[in-house]
Structure 1
Amino acid sequence: MPAPSPSLDWDGYAERWSRSHGGYDPRTASPVVRGWLRLSFRIGSALIRAGVRSPNAVTAAGLLLAAAVPMTALGGRRAAVAGAVLVLLSAVADSVDGVLAVVTGRASRLGQVWDSAADRLSEAAWMTAFWLLGAPAWLAVGGTGLMWLHEYLRARATVAGMSGIGTVTVAERPTRVLLAIFGLLAAAAVPAGATAALVVTAVLGITGLVQLVIAVRKALTPDR
């Protein structure tokens, strides 16, 4: 386990983050993803200076925020704006817990499992909110399944011998977060907003899954 490094700079953090994410360097990511990770790094560093050093506590806080998203949907369409804010805060916590784990030297395999489980439960909570806001149940269930299948396929491929993450698809976690946020805002604005958001989620989910299947097949097919 790396030694605690409260003064770790962005480049040092990016190198350690890369080693725990299949070698993918966040410094080469798209401007949106790179900017998001840099913002998370700054927030995490500020929390460490304030004395917050438990990644699991931040993971739990993020999960609780996500679990409250469907509750806002019970208040009707206008309350969906509050749900969008909760998704954003939950997503920030989801990124910041990784910062704390890396910078303080508390990253662990068990922590990665808890973090992944929290992500899947959070996504299910978002989809539940869309259903409560009027989207068809089958679309909500399907959207959740596509998100989960995406991560399950990548995890199984890694166990089977695929090095790295295979490929960066159009349906990665940051995309799902943005879809949830803007989808909830759309649901607050127009009656069909929730359904439209899940349709877009399904289209990107299927596209991303196809991209990942191709990458996994290429990575695990022996050269002839």
Structure 2
Amino acid sequence: MVGTALLNWDDYARTWARLHGGFDPRDASAVVRGWLRLAYRLGRILGRIRVRPTAVTFVGVLLSVGVPFFAPRGVEGPLIAAGFVLLGAVADSADGAVAVVTGRVTRIGYVYDSFADRLGEAAWLVAFWLVGAPGPVVAAAGGLSWLHEYVRARAVGVGMKEIGVVTIGERPSRVSVAIVGLLAAGGIGFVDPDLAAGTMTLATVVWGVIALGGLLQLLGAVRRALGNA
């Protein structure tokens, strides 16, 4: 049952910031702020019709699992897969928004959401491989982004009070690389199908580079935050 009132934007932003290490979405860049406001509006709509956050998370997982299913299916496959990545990313933002605006934030929900994120990204990387990116490059890119999330989780677990730093390797960057990479692979595939694999390889390399850069940024922030503690 939804509470007596759904949170307005300012209350939502304050609650969201508290749940994300103090990072206030109202102070974010125009693109990030716009994305989070979209998630907030979707959260209010879904909250009004009493959709539960876990249901939105489940839909997001299904959309992500569809990415490797469609990606290798002909020239248009990567284009369809890019659409699934976008919809899955929207669902990923909306589930947390529903939880916040309806007062249904739970620790188990946080675990489910994190698990769904990693599962979704694994599905996208499998799609990269199926389109033609080399397996070792895909594995390295995935491992670096996993390390990024693992280091932050461990640092918070031992006492880091905030997220440390917003790095270049955060999940929105990975979402952007997946969407642009699949769109590029699909688009160039109409010109020359043999170039789709190379395009997807380039996107995977970009994923790995920003993941490595983000990991190094994060390690520096963790060292400053924890020192010799």
- Please indicate the TM-score interval, normalised by the length of the shorter structure: over 0.9
Q: Is the 8 A contact 1:171 1:207 kept in 2?
A: yes
Per the alignment, in what secondary structure is the counterpart of residue 68 of structure 1?
A: helix
Per the alignment, in what secondary structure is the counterpart of residue 58 of structure 2?
A: helix
Partner of 1:194: 200
Of residues 153, 156, 171, the one that matches 1:155 is: 153
State the distance in 1 between where 2:50 and 2:90 align. Answer: 15
Q: Is the 8 A contact 1:72 1:83 kept in 2?
A: yes
Change (3 A) 1:128 1:222: same
5+ residue gaps in structure 2? Answer: 189-194
Partner of 1:19: 18
State whether structure 2 residue 91 is matched by structure 1 residue 64: no
Q: How many residues align?
A: 220
Residues 81-160 of structure 1 aligned to structure 2 (within 5 Å): 81-160=79-158
Q: Which residue identity does 2:45 align to in structure 1?
A: A
Q: Which residue identity does 2:199 align to in structure 1?
A: G
RMSD: 1.4
Q: Which residue identity does 2:131 align to in structure 1?
A: L
State the distance in 2 between where 1:36 and 1:5 align. Answer: 26
Q: Is the 8 A contact 1:76 1:133 kept in 2?
A: no
Q: Which residue identity does 2:7 align to in structure 1?
A: L
**TM-score by structure 1 length?**
0.94
1:26-60 CA-partner distances (Å, limit 9, x unpaired): 111111111100011111112222x1330000000
Q: Which residue identity does 1:145 align to in structure 2?
A: G
Which deviates further from its counterpart, 116-125 or 77-86? 77-86
- 1:147 offset after TM fit, Å? 1.4
State the distance in 2 between where 1:118 and 1:15 align. Answer: 24
Q: Which residue identity does 1:20 align to in structure 2?
A: L
Partner of 1:172: 170
5+ residue gaps in structure 1? Answer: none
1:126-168 CA-partner distances (Å, limit 9, x unpaired): 0000100000011111111111111100000001111110100
Change (3 A) 1:218 1:102: same
State the distance in 2 between where 1:52 and 1:135 align. Answer: 41
State the distance in 1 between where 2:202 and 2:118 align. Answer: 22
Change (3 A) 1:120 1:5: farther
Structure number with the higher helix fraction is: 2
State whether structure 2 residue 80 is matched by structure 1 residue 79: no
State the distance in 2 between where 1:14 and 1:119 align. Answer: 21
State the distance in 2 between where 1:153 and 1:69 align. Answer: 27
Identity between Structure 1 and Structure 2 (%)? 54
